[in-house]
Structure 1
Amino acid sequence: MKLTKAQAQANRAHVVKTASALFRERGYDGVGVVDLMAAAGFTQGGFYKQFRSKTDLMAESAACGIEQTVELTKGIGLSTFVNSYLSREHRDNRSAGCTMAALGSDAARQTQEVKRTFAAGIDSLLQALEKECPTSERTGNNEARAKSINTFAHIVGALVISRACPDDSPLADEILAVCRDKILDTLAEQEGVPPPAAAHAAQSDVA
């Protein structure tokens, strides 16, 4: 039975989403075409009817994963995003987590096509984070842009280092906690509001 155009597009999208999760979990070299298609519920033969190469799928799936992260930034504010990003839940859930933290090192060794996808993805994430900056910072753009780059670079680095530690290592949690608190303190200072610890102390004094 011949597939309709709509069904073929749906199948392709399903393969892309499956690949996005598997690549984040295992890395680009840790997933072969056979295993990938099996996980998506298809045979290997169908792969080359949908994609020219694994590299094409790597680029497309990276864009898919990055878009998921962009969606998570919308309307929540930088501090809330940082709290969520540098959480144990995010650290331990690679397949549904940030593509940059999971595959950034892998992407550095890939083709220019894959690198261009990551560059475009980084830029889209930075733009999304800029929108969560105070209006006063967005007026000139430069301040909001710098703040977004600095924040994103720090949280990605912290997550990567934490994941490099054994899963049950106290150091893994310590890295997340220290970096999260320091970044949140910096954001609070920049926005002219009490940092979380100070705010909590003030609330305790009032009580």
Structure 2
Amino acid sequence: MRISRDQAQQNHDRVVTTAARMFRERGFDGVAVGDLMKAAGFTHGGFYNHFKSKEALSAQALDQAFRQMDDHRAGMESLDDLLVQYLSEAACRAPGKACPAAALAGDVSRQGEPVKQVFAEGFERMVESMAARLPEGPRARGEAIALLSRMAGALALARAMPESSELGREVLAAALESCRADAARLTGEANQNPRS
């Protein structure tokens, strides 16, 4: 029985959405195609009706994960809101819904160029979004990269520890304090040196 193009697209989208979540939870190599298709509600054999390879799916799922983060960041009122939510224990314990940079950077380093390219494009959008939240100036991009690197690193480290680990909570709290201090410093510098 043939399905409509709309239904085929919905099925495709469901597989990509499921993969975006599962890859962030388990990594690319931690998700077998059969398990992924079963979680999406399809048979293993249907995979190749939608994707040439697991790498092709990985690239699409990673793109979707970054776009979900783009949408989430767009709804944030302030830089502090972003910092607090990103470095929260809730984000730490829900990698399937959280930042793909923190969840998948290590995995992406072992993937092919198409996946690496999608990662670079997604992280670039994160940098642009963060830089737009900082005072304008020649250092905004570099400061945005530094903040995001610290945030993603802290989240990845905290996730690597048992949920009961006090050290994991300390990592998140220290990163939040450090990022907040840098944001305040940058804002203070901008207020002391307003553009003419």
C-alpha change, 1:51 and 1:39, in structure 2 (3 Å) is same
Aligned-partner residue type, residue 119 of structure 1: A
Offset from partner CA, 1:114-166 (integer Å, 9 cap, x none): 111101111111112222223xx1xx5x3221121111011001111111211
Aligned-partner residue type, residue 186 of structure 1: D
Partners of 2:2 and 2:174 in 1: how far apart? 56
Query: Are 1:118 and 2:119 counterparts?
Result: yes
SS of aligned partner of 2:10: helix
Do the aligned partners of 2:15 and 2:40 also contact (CA within 8 Å) in 1?
yes
Partners of 1:3 and 1:130 in 2: how far apart? 45
Partner of 2:33: 33
SS of aligned partner of 2:52: coil
| Greater helix fraction, Structure 1 or Structure 2 | 1
Partner of 1:171: 167
Offset from partner CA, 1:18-70 (integer Å, 9 cap, x none): 00100111111111110000000011111101000000000110000011111
Aligned-partner residue type, residue 45 of structure 1: G
Which blocks of at least 5 consecutive residues in structure 1 are unaligned? Answer: 194-207
Partner of 1:147: 143
- Deviates further, 69-78 or 143-152: 69-78
SS of aligned partner of 1:94: coil
Query: Are 1:88 and 2:89 counterparts?
Result: yes
How many residue pairs align between the two structures? 188
Which blocks of at least 5 consecutive residues in structure 2 are unaligned? Answer: 190-196
Do the aligned partners of 2:134 and 2:186 also contact (CA within 8 Å) in 1?
no
SS of aligned partner of 2:133: coil
| Large movers: runs of 4+ above 4 Å | none
Partner of 1:100: 101
TM (norm. structure 1) is 0.87
Identify the match of residue 178 of structure 2 among 182, 185, 201: 182
